[in-house]
Amino acid sequence: MFARYIIVVVKTFTAQGVPDDDEIAIRGDALREAPNFNTEDTSIPKIEKTSPLTADQLEHFYHKIADLRKDLLDIEKSKDGLEGQELDNVAEKIFQLDAGIKFITEYFSEAIHKKVGLREQGTITFELLWTLFRPGILVYKKNLLGEGCLHRVQRCRYVKTKPPWYYIEASFISFDGEDYGYIHEYDFRIPQFPGQRPISSLPLYPFEFHADREEEEKRLIERAERAFVLNDRVMHRYLYEYKGHALCRAPESRNPIPKYSSIPIARGLFTTEQKLLYSPVLYGFSFGDRIWGAFSVLRLKEVQWKPEIIEFLSIPPVNKDFLRSVVQANATKQDNFDDIVQDKGKSLIGLFTGPPGVGKTLTAEVMAEIAERPFATTAQKALDSALDLGSRWNAVVLLDEADVFSPNTTTKT
């Protein structure tokens, strides 16, 4: 019955006779299979000939009007010189794409009219958020450190709870210590709000509405390139100069480094867009806070080592010279040095004894400064973890009150 129709709209009603959602089906093969109609980066299921459009597919149809116009122009150019059946086939494609464009323009005329008016004011209503967000666009938001970052929208929809909210799932690019890849972050929510609201005041909004887009793009690219350099360096040589917040704490039970949910990206092959999508943080361990977390790329700097603090030790000069020589010799030891027993003899262990306040902890700190290594302290319950980290980071580990680690022994006479 509807074989010749390109688009079929079925009006539906509730049992009480109240108009319900329309059922819309796209029957035209040429329209459904237009080159730019179904793109690889969209999460919307492929539109089938015999199935009504879902709400997501209908919004997808609306957002594709510009792509359909481009496809229509390309097809119209291709008909020159054709004749017979080939010309008829192209004419059918032109007819179907033109029908699709006209349908979008007429069916969504009210939404388009309202959106244009609001866009001129830089505002949006909750009911028209769907016209603002679509899969594939870049959205801008501030992270917990107040720094701007971009995400690419994967999917978005209304959630009909009480009160309702608008859900957006988006992705960005990060580094897990070995590889780069896309991270899918979800649960961006925009709660229902009354009336109009400035687009730039939303928790996240399309990057095209950023007031200083070109300058922000430059900053994001420079930040990504700085992160790439830091990722290829020995990270324990970098610390944040604590002015404001630089560390996003991770819960003790959760790994702060997100896991990939797509194919990793090859090093050195980043496009401009991928640089824009790169994470504003690096993941690492804070020796001062003794936690894993995310650190602002822009607030990391070289460590300023202070070997001169050895002068604050209240020990004879000859002992200071001995301590300095031993530490420097160990710090510059070749990796191929080994003892008869595998991995034995590669560490320098010091045992400091004396009453509180004589400088035992300061001596360990001096060793770290001379060796230019991170300084970590530990407690009994964290001994295994601390020693493992010390090995991985090539660090100076302080076992404060080390006698608690020794088993109780008795001397028999």
pLDDT in tens, 269-284: 789 999 999 999 988 8
Of 257, 251, 302, give the one whose Cα is nearest residue 281: 257
Give the tens place of pLDDT for each residue, 282-316.
888 777 777 778 889 998 887 888 888 888 888 88
140 band by pLDDT with thresholds 50, 70 and 90: very high
Structure tokens at 378: 């530990």
Phi, psi (5° rounding) for residue 152?
-105, 130
Q: How many Cα atoms occupy the beta-carbon half-sphere of 197 within 13 Å?
A: 18
What is the identity of the amino acid at 241? E
Beta bridge partners of 23: 10
pLDDT reading at 200 higher than 90: yes
Q: How many CB atoms lie within 10 A of CB 141?
A: 18
Give the tens place of pLDDT for each residue, 40-82.
545 667 788 878 888 888 888 888 888 899 999 999 988 888 8
Could you tell me the pTM of the whole model?
Answer: 0.73
- Rounded to an integer, what distance in angstroms lies between the CA atom of residue 318 and that of residue 87? 97
- Rounded to an integer, what distance in angstroms lies between the CA atom of residue 96 and that of residue 29? 8
Long-range contacts of 62-67 (CB under 8 A, 24+ apart): 62/104, 62/108, 62/111, 62/131, 63/134, 64/36, 64/37, 64/104, 65/101, 65/104, 65/105, 67/34, 67/36, 67/37
Of 148, 157, 151, give the one whose Cα is nearest residue 137: 151
- First-residue to last-residue Cα distance in the chain: 107
Give the tens place of pLDDT for each residue, 325-380.
888 888 776 555 555 555 555 677 788 888 888 888 888 888 888 888 887 776 54
**Which helix (DSSP H) or strand (DSSP E) does residue 111 occupy?**
helix 109-121
- Rounded to an integer, what distance in angstroms lies between the CA atom of residue 49 and that of residue 96? 14
413 band by pLDDT with thresholds 50, 70 and 90: very low
29 in helix, strand or coil? helix
CB 136 within 8 A of CB 41: yes
Which is more confident, 382 or 137?
137
- Rounded to an integer, what distance in angstroms lies between the CA atom of residue 253 and that of residue 176? 18
Structure tokens at 203: 């928790």
CB 323 within 8 A of CB 363: yes
Q: How many CB atoms lie within 10 A of CB 320?
A: 14
Structure tokens at 47: 């539109």
Q: Are strands 247-249 and 148-159 parallel, antiparallel or unpaired?
A: unpaired
3-state helix, strand, coil in the chain (%, to 5): 40, 20, 40
Phi, psi (5° rounding) for residue 281?
-130, 155
